[in-house]
Amino acid sequence: MSAETAETAEPTEPAEPTADSAEAASRRREQRGWYFYDFACSVYSTSVLTVFIGPYLTSIAKAAADADGFVHPLGIPVRAGSLFAYAVSVSVVVAVIVMPIVGAAADRTGRKKPLLATAAYTGAAATTGMFFLDGHRFLLGAFLLIVANAAISVSMVLYNAYLPQIAGPEERDAVSSRGWAFGYTSGALVLVLNLVLYTGHDSFGLSESDAVRICLASAGLWWGAFTIVPLRRLRDRHVAPSGEGAVGSGWRQLMATLRDMRRHPLTLSFLLAYLVYNDGVQTVISQASVYGSEELGLDQTTLITAVLLVQVLAVAGALGMGRLAREYGAKRTILGSLVVWTLILVAGYFLPAKAPVFFYLLASAIGLVLGGSQALSRSLFSHLVPRGKEAEYFSAYEMSDRGLSWLGPLVFGLAYQLTGSYRDAIMSLVIFFAVGSVLLARVPVRRAVAAAGNPVPERI
């Protein structure tokens, strides 16, 4: 190069970031924030719903029961051992009433974050309030459980509705699975702390009841604290306001959504299948600790350890089933998990009492299929949602996920009320997995994705 050329050559400037790269970076930031809502609220599902509140509320109800073993909320005779299952069912009814209103408000305004914050902090406050459960306060316990369980259902409508907006079609299985993995990681971490506090309550100068109430309340504080992360990172996609009130339009929107789904019958078919088999999943998870303590005679330490094992293995299970879905497709992978769920129930029926080793083996099997079956169901449904209708369709999905999962707990509670046997109650859930598998197998998912107007992934 000549001196003249060297003097006149312009220095090379770094390349400007492209719009695509900036958008990708923004999307990754939102995805990381999105994961953290699972990290925040999953401690409620694990520490509260799965481990502590069922046996604790049952013990409070039994302490307040009459000579025949019944309590009388609102004058209705309820066997004390069925109160928890019935409260879960009532919470679902409350969620069903509220979710269409929230879904309509989110879609009409585009402002999911304020609604997510309201639902999350309502649930966190109710969970924190469980610290005040003692003595014979079974009505307070049932009320707080109903509020918290309904609130988490409503918040998940909004949380799930972000998935199609922050992840492309080819990455949704992976993003959804990572969200579940984050949730199970936090659940495991908090359960370790719960285990330390519960088993060492004497050394901390606490009674067993005090330790349980602190564990319950700490889940609410955790939920509220880590909800700050998604609220800072997720962004709303604003739409033109419609001028209609959310309350007035909520049920009209639900009816419109159901009418719209009639134009997408394959999406509706998947929702029906999911409603059935997920009802079984949710009931197994919510009633497992009651089954272990009341029927199998296992102590609280064993139950905490078993659920901790579920959390640890569920992280690996969610990620592992995500990889299986990339190889075999989400539908086949979910169907395989439902076979395992059925075998788990059969094994649970024959599980001997006071045998923690066998209970741990069953917990291991649950952990390996729990996260993956739920994560893949969520990501598969996201492909079946018409663009622009994410919140209202995920409102219907959430009714299937949590909102309409009232039948399983109701059947479980009725079976126990009529027979006095938790083993009979657990076997009644097999029908949910059997029927759900048949319905899912009949859904042509590739055609369903195309019919919704979305690009069809290479494997689904």
Query: Which tens digit of pLDDT belongs to each residue from 376-397?
Result: 888 888 888 887 777 667 767 7
In tens, the pLDDT along 349-361 reads 999 988 899 999 9
Query: pLDDT value at position 401?
Result: 57
Return mean pLDDT, the chain.
Answer: 84
Local structure of residue 70 (DSSP, 8 states): E
Least confident of 51-55, 215-219, 250-254: 250-254
Say yes or no to pLDDT of 243 above 50. no
Query: pLDDT value at position 399?
Result: 62
Answer whether 104's CB lies under 8 Å from 306's CB. no
Q: Which helix (H) or strand (E) holds 137?
A: none
Q: Which helix (H) or strand (E) holds 434?
A: helix 430-441
Answer whether 408's CB lies under 8 Å from 345's CB. no
The owner of tokens 């622009």 is 388
Instruction: Give the residue-averaged pLDDT of 223-240.
Output: 86
Backbone angles phi, psi at 385, to 5 degrees: -95, 125
Answer whether 456's CB lies under 8 Å from 450's CB. yes
Query: pLDDT value at position 6?
Result: 43
In tens, the pLDDT along 10-27 reads 444 555 556 667 777 778
Most confident by average pLDDT, 70-84, 170-184, 281-295, 327-341: 327-341
Query: pLDDT value at position 56?
Result: 92
Answer whether 111's CB lies under 8 Å from 238's CB. yes
Residues 6+ apart with CB under 8 A from 169: 383, 454, 455, 457
Least confident of 140-154, 160-174, 246-260, 378-392: 246-260
Q: What's the alpha-carbon Rg for the chain, to the nearest Å?
A: 24
* Residue (of 306, 266, 244) closest to 55 by Cα position: 306
Say yes or no to pLDDT of 8 above 60. no
Say yes or no to pLDDT of 341 above 70. yes
* DSSP string across 78-112: EEGGGHHHHHHHHHHHHHHHHHHHHHHHHHHH--H
Query: pLDDT value at position 402?
Result: 57
What is the bridge-based pairing of β-strands 78-79 and 70-71?
antiparallel
In tens, the pLDDT along 296-333 reads 999 888 888 888 888 778 778 878 888 888 888 889 99
Answer whether 105's CB lies under 8 Å from 164's CB. no
